[in-house]
């Protein structure tokens, strides 16, 4: 079945991965800016990474008929130095204007520190001042509930926020309703070890329905699976879900969410 992976770190994946994803039906991906496993030593390092996401990775994906989009931002793991973050944020507007960039992401919280919040507020303000869409990374494991609440509180305090143009990502059973009840899109990340997995995603669909859910692999340099979304298709089929629900989850939903950006063109 054709599918879109709305959150995957292609820069960390091999060309062989792209070939297999294409064979399995992947037609488009969206790649949020991310922590590459080491802290960058200067603004130029971010600048080159943003160039990679907007120049090189779209070309690499195009070789396999996969449309590549990206989100620009600073991951919470590198957001502790607010002065440095300001310098990186100053780079973002020129990249946001590039034709395959969808908005600001993934931004959010990691350890939920005061400095992370200060950087996050700068990023949210940039997004809202430009009318950009946003993707939020919520913290891992024990900090997830607290961090998700903190992000939602920050957004609730700003009247410019349109929840329909925001994805709260890495939702799990105990946070998904927080996001959905306030009108946000809820990303569910399918990891082999941490976060959710395909079987738990099917449980979630049965609990809250498929509306405004975005299934993604978030595949990166760690243990992760670039075929997690087709694995969801197989899991949904095994559990007896109709084609229409599966198609909504892996195609219609990402097209509806990403399509709110004028830069996104649904594959035909």
- Interface residues toward Zn ion, by CB under 5 A: 218
Q: Count of residues for the chain?
A: 268
DSSP H or E segment with residue 208: helix 198-208
Task: Indicate the residue among 147 and 246 with the shorter CB distance to Zn ion.
Answer: 147
Q: Tokens in use for 119? A: 């950087």
Contacts of 214 by beta carbon, 8 Å cutoff, 6+ apart: 6, 7, 167, 169, 185, 186, 187, 188, 253, 254, 257
Task: Indicate the residue among 189 and 261 with the shorter CB distance to Zn ion.
Answer: 189
CB 244 to Zn ion: min, Å = 29
Task: Indicate the residue among 12 and 115 with the shorter CB distance to Zn ion.
Answer: 12
CB 8 to Zn ion: min, Å = 8
Task: Indicate the residue among 166 and 246 with the shorter CB distance to Zn ion.
Answer: 166
Give the whole-angstrom CA distance, residue 61 versus residue 66.
5
Ranked by CB distance to Zn ion, the top (closest) residue is 218
Task: Indicate the residue among 218 and 235 with the shorter CB distance to Zn ion.
Answer: 218
Residue 216, beta-bridge partner list: 189
CB 169 to Zn ion: min, Å = 7
CB 179 to Zn ion: min, Å = 16
Q: How far is CA 211 from CA 118, 162, 171, 188, 249, in A?
A: 32, 17, 14, 12, 8
> Angle at Cα 135 formed by Cα 129 and Cα 139, nearest 5°?
120
CA 187 from chain centre, in angstroms, equals 7
Place of tokens 């198609």: 247
Q: Tokens in use for 71? A: 């989100």
CB 105 to Zn ion: min, Å = 9
CB 172 to Zn ion: min, Å = 15
CB 18 to Zn ion: min, Å = 17
Task: Indicate the residue among 1 and 112 with the shorter CB distance to Zn ion.
Answer: 112
Q: How far is CA 158 from CA 81, 100, 209, in A?
A: 24, 27, 28
Task: Indicate the residue among 218 and 261 with the shorter CB distance to Zn ion.
Answer: 218
């Amino acid at each position: 079945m054709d599918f879109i992976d709305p959150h995957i770190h292609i820069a960390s994946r091999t060309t062989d991965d792209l070939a297999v994803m294409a064979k399995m039906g992947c037609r488009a991906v969206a790649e949020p800016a991310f922590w590459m496993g080491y802290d960058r030593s200067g603004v130029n390092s971010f600048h080159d990474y943003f160039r990679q996401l907007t120049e090189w990775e779209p070309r690499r994906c195009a070789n396999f008929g996969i449309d590549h989009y990206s989100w620009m931002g600073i991951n919470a793991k590198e957001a502790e130095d607010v002065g440095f973050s300001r310098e990186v944020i100053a780079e973002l507007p020129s990249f946001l204007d590039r034709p395959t960039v969808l908005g600001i992401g993934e931004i959010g919280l990691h350890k939920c520190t005061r400095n992370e919040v200060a950087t996050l507020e700068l990023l949210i303000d940039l997004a809202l001042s430009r009318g950009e869409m946003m993707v939020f990374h919520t913290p891992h494991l024990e900090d997830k509930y607290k961090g998700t609440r903190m992000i939602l509180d920050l957004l609730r305090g700003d009247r410019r926020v349109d929840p329909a143009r925001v994805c709260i990502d890495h939702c799990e059973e105990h946070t998904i309703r927080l996001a959905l009840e306030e009108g946000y899109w809820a990303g569910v990340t399918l990891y082999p070890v941490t976060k959710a997995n395909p079987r738990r995603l099917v449980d979630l669909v049965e609990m809250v329905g498929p509306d405004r859910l975005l299934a993604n692999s978030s595949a990166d340099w760690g243990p992760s699976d670039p075929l997690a979304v087709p694995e969801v298709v197989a899991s949904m089929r095994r559990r007896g879900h109709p084609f229409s629900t599966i198609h909504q989850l892996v195609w219609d939903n990402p097209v509806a969410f990403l399509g709110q950006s004028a830069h996104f063109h649904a594959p035909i």
